[in-house]
């Protein structure tokens, strides 16, 4: 066979010498970058946990600390904008450790020429989201770069929260037998952004689910049965499950027909050829909960607004450690793997 006619599929996405979009996707390339570059260079016990936040002792207080850059395009999308996302995203990363979010920082990188009106709307939205989440934006920075050196506006928020005594929630704490609970429907945020970007006909009918989750978490941890929490943002529910399976060295089994995907979101995914399991959420969490308390946790969730569609979607098991298996709607079983590259660029 003539080698010239061999098509490689999927197309190679990296020459290993340059950064490609996939390095920011939350998939395998992202994980490689963290493992091969950041971990060795910064090596410390906190980073090594690979949680979405670090929990440490500062003086006599136990704190959570996290950071995220937001580069979403467009800046405004159905159901929200980059400002709300930047506040809620960091509030949620703190909440996923069981911490009470307290203080946020906000650093703006602005492209010269951005309309003051646009910036103002984003900043107002941040103030409103902060008040809604009960946090204060207490310090910040503004840099302006020349036209063409950035895409309108990037926002990096960091946050500090207080971890209550006795709380130990981490992706590495999951036990075989734990129930896996998701707080609601998946893929809304990613598809809200994508539908606008692709000019799809359902544009505007799908809204981002951006929301702060600290109250939901507060209700859940009162039960004392929560082992791990993740907000399945970039990379979607599938990525969060893979990360937890790996961090806790447990197997995960979920049932596809228990995972709620709204009808219009499913339609949008089909049009674009995307798997909703890998599409970003910005107001959902997945919890790993001791089986005997799982009913109590679910009940507490169902009483909150952000958890009103909560449901058990599967469980952690001892076998096939590090691997996520999904029972499909037609009764088969498939392996859910981290995507190598990215499905959805710049959705957060």
Site for a copy of itself in 109-138 (CB under 8 A): 109-117, 119-120, 123-124, 126-127, 130, 136-138
Backbone angles phi, psi at 293, to 5 degrees: -110, 5
Q: Which residues, at least 6 apart from 134, have a Cβ–Cβ distance to it below 8 Å? A: 101, 214
Q: Are 264 and 311 in contact (CB under 8 A)?
A: no
Of 2, 58, 166, 331, the residue at the interface with a copy of itself (CB under 8 A) is 58
Residues 166 to 195: which contact a copy of itself by CB under 8 A?
A: none
The nearer residue to a copy of itself, 134 or 322, going by C-beta atoms, is 134
Which single residue is written with the structure tokens 């098991």?
Answer: 317
Closest approach of a copy of itself to the CB of residue 327, in Å = 33
Q: Are 339 and 25 in contact (CB under 8 A)?
A: yes
- Kindly indicate which of the ranges 19-27, 251-259, 286-294, 313-321 contains the residues binding a copy of itself, using the contact rule CB under 8 A: 19-27
Question: Any contact of residue 24 with a copy of itself (CB under 8 A)?
Answer: yes
Question: Any contact of residue 335 with a copy of itself (CB under 8 A)?
Answer: no
Question: Any contact of residue 60 with a copy of itself (CB under 8 A)?
Answer: yes
The nearer residue to a copy of itself, 13 or 323, going by C-beta atoms, is 13
The nearer residue to a copy of itself, 38 or 257, going by C-beta atoms, is 38
- Kindly indicate which of the ranges 21-29, 244-252, 291-299, 314-322 contains the residues binding a copy of itself, using the contact rule CB under 8 A: 21-29
Q: Distance between CA atoms of 192 and 185, rounded to whole angstroms?
A: 13
Of 103, 173, 176, 321, the residue at the interface with a copy of itself (CB under 8 A) is 103
- Kindly indicate which of the ranges 139-147, 247-255, 272-280, 297-305 contains the residues binding a copy of itself, using the contact rule CB under 8 A: 139-147
The nearer residue to a copy of itself, 123 or 317, going by C-beta atoms, is 123
| Cross-strand bridge partners of residue 139 | 105
- Kindly indicate which of the ranges 106-114, 191-199, 218-226, 317-325 contains the residues binding a copy of itself, using the contact rule CB under 8 A: 106-114
Residues 63 to 82: which contact a copy of itself by CB under 8 A?
A: 63, 65-71
Q: Residue 9 corresponds to which tokens in the numbers above?
A: 């599929």
The nearer residue to a copy of itself, 17 or 305, going by C-beta atoms, is 17
Q: Are 269 and 191 in contact (CB under 8 A)?
A: yes
Three-state DSSP state, 185: coil
Which pairs from 66-69 meet CB under 8 Å and 24+ separation?
A: 66/90, 66/93, 66/94, 66/158, 66/159, 67/156, 67/157, 67/158, 67/159, 68/93, 68/156, 68/157, 68/158, 68/348, 69/154, 69/155, 69/156
């Amino acid at each position: 066979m003539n080698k010239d006619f061999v098509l490689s599929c999927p197309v190679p996405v990296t020459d290993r010498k340059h950064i490609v979009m996939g390095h920011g996707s939350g998939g395998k390339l992202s994980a490689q970058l963290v493992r091969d570059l950041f971990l060795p260079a910064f090596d410390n016990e906190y980073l090594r946990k690979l949680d979405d936040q670090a929990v440490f002792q500062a003086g006599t207080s136990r704190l959570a600390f996290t950071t995220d850059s937001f580069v979403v395009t467009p800046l405004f999308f159905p159901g929200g904008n980059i400002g709300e996302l930047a506040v809620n995203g960091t509030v949620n990363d703190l909440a996923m450790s069981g911490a009470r979010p307290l203080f946020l920082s906000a650093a703006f990188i602005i492209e010269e020429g951005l309309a003051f009106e646009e910036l103002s709307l984003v900043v107002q939205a941040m103030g409103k989201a902060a008040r809604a989440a009960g946090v204060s934006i207490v310090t910040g920075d503004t840099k302006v770069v020349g036209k063409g050196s950035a895409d309108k506006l990037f926002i990096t928020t960091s946050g500090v929260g207080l971890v209550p005594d006795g709380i130990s929630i981490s992706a590495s704490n999951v036990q075989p037998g734990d129930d896996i609970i998701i707080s609601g429907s998946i893929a809304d945020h990613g598809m809200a952004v994508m539908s606008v970007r692709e000019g799809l006909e359902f544009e505007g009918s799908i809204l981002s689910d951006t929301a702060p989750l600290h109250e939901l978490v507060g209700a859940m941890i009162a039960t004392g049965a929560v082992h791990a929490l993740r907000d399945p943002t970039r990379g979607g529910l599938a990525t969060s499950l893979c990360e937890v399976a790996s961090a806790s060295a447990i197997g995960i089994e979920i049932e596809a027909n228990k995972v709620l995907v709204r009808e219009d979101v499913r339609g949008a995914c089909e049009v674009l050829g995307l798997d909703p399991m890998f599409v970003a959420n910005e107001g959902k969490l997945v919890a790993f909960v001791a089986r005997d308390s799982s009913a109590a946790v679910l009940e507490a969730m169902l009483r909150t607004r952000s958890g009103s569609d909560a449901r058990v979607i599967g469980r952690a098991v001892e076998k096939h450690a590090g691997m996520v298996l999904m029972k499909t709607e037609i009764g088969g079983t498939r392996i859910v793997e981290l995507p190598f590259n990215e499905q959805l660029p710049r959705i957060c």
